[in-house]
Amino acid sequence: MLPRKAILNAKPYQPGKPIEEVKRELGLKDVIKMASNENPLGPSPKAVTAIRKYLGNINRYPEGGCFYLRQAVAKKLKIKPEQLIFGNGSDELIELTLKAFVNEGDEVIVASPTFLMYEVASTAHGAKIKVVPMRYFKYDLKAIKDAIAKNTKIIFIANPDNPNGTYVTKYELENFLKDLSDETIVFLDEAYFDFAEEQDYPNGLNYLEKNNLIVTRTFSKAYGLAGLRVGYGVSSPEIIKYMEAVRDPFNVNSLAQIGAMGALKDKV
């Protein structure tokens, strides 16, 4: 029995081990986990309170389209609700983008080194992967632009980047987006948006109108809700519509939705 061809090349993502397992294995008492950039301060207390209150309702399926969370995030970001899609962690949005837009053999561009999920998911999906090395730990946007081919469907950029900790500036991003092909989507991963404080750090949402851009954010890091698995993507209603077509109906569980709504009332 053979899997799809692409799966023969797939390497599963290696997450850091759970704290309890490391303690058991090495006989340690105090272990601090930093492998997945979890928030060491714990979860948003408003999320925890909201989830406690909701626990008696988990016999029901979740709200399929994240109705209330969608309203809340749209209001906060001053965008239309139909510009949003929610995922089981923002990781799922990588999958949904690949599913919606990449035919077997189409190309994606990833930097190296960067967040591994872009390459892991693209490989399993059957995409051809073009790797462009980082330059002095920064995205080499010129080399990435030069690497774009006719069948390049997605370019993955984490801003700020993990693990490099560098960011693409407003000026660099604007230059990069100029004259990009209509066939290419820029997947701008803003998992660490809330941690970026520099004046020249660009808010990806400002560039949605004129570009094929998917901006993703997550409740996992700043809000400390990594265990719940909830994140979202923002794009044009048209791109979102295609991604919605390949989304599982109940992909974000009810406690994650309730927790995220609680967290939104918290300051980050």
Ligand X SMILES: *Cc1c(COP(=O)(O)O)cnc(C)c1O
Site for ligand X in 23-52 (CB under 6 A): 37
Is the distance from CB of 197 to CB of 222 less than 8 angstroms? no
Site for ligand X in 76-115 (CB under 6 A): 89-91, 115
3-state secondary structure of 86: strand
**Sequence-distant (≥ 6) Cβ neighbours of residue 59 within 8 angstroms:** none
- Asked whether position 233 contacts ligand X by CB under 6 A, the answer is no
Bridge-partner residues for 128, per DSSP? 107
- Shortest approach of ligand X to residue 162 CB, angstroms? 4
- Shortest approach of ligand X to residue 163 CB, angstroms? 8
Please calculate the CA angle 249-253-257 and round it to the nearest 5 degrees: 110
- Shortest approach of ligand X to residue 114 CB, angstroms? 7
CA distances from 106 to 80, 149, 212 (A): 31, 10, 17
Per the rule left: phi > 0, alpha: psi between -120 and 50, beta: everything else, 246 is alpha
Burial track 9-38 (b if 16+ CB lie within 10 A, e otherwise): ebeeeeeeeeeeeeeeeeeeeeeeeeeebb
- Shortest approach of ligand X to residue 124 CB, angstroms? 16
Count CB neighbours of 119 within 10 A.
Answer: 22
- Shortest approach of ligand X to residue 8 CB, angstroms? 26
Among 226, 236, 242, 266, binds ligand X (CB under 6 A): 226
Site for ligand X in 129-148 (CB under 6 A): none
Among 220, 235, 254, 257, binds ligand X (CB under 6 A): 220
**For ligand X, how many residues bind (rule: CB under 6 A)?**
14
Among 189, 193, 211, 224, binds ligand X (CB under 6 A): 189
H helix or E strand, kind and range, residue 112: strand 107-112
Q: Which stretch binds ligand X (CB under 6 A): 44-52, 172-180, 204-212, 214-222?
A: 214-222
Closest CB to ligand X among residues 91, 106? 91
CB closest to ligand X, residue no: 89
- Asked whether position 231 contacts ligand X by CB under 6 A, the answer is yes
- Asked whether position 257 contacts ligand X by CB under 6 A, the answer is no
Whether omega for the bond prior to residue 113 falls within 30 degrees of 0, making it cis, is yes
3-state secondary structure of 152: strand
Is the distance from CB of 109 to CB of 154 less than 8 angstroms? yes
- Shortest approach of ligand X to residue 198 CB, angstroms? 17
Closest CB to ligand X among residues 19, 183? 19
Among 39, 162, 166, 175, binds ligand X (CB under 6 A): 162
Residues that bind ligand X (CB under 6 A): 37, 89-91, 115, 158, 162, 189, 191, 218, 220-221, 226, 231
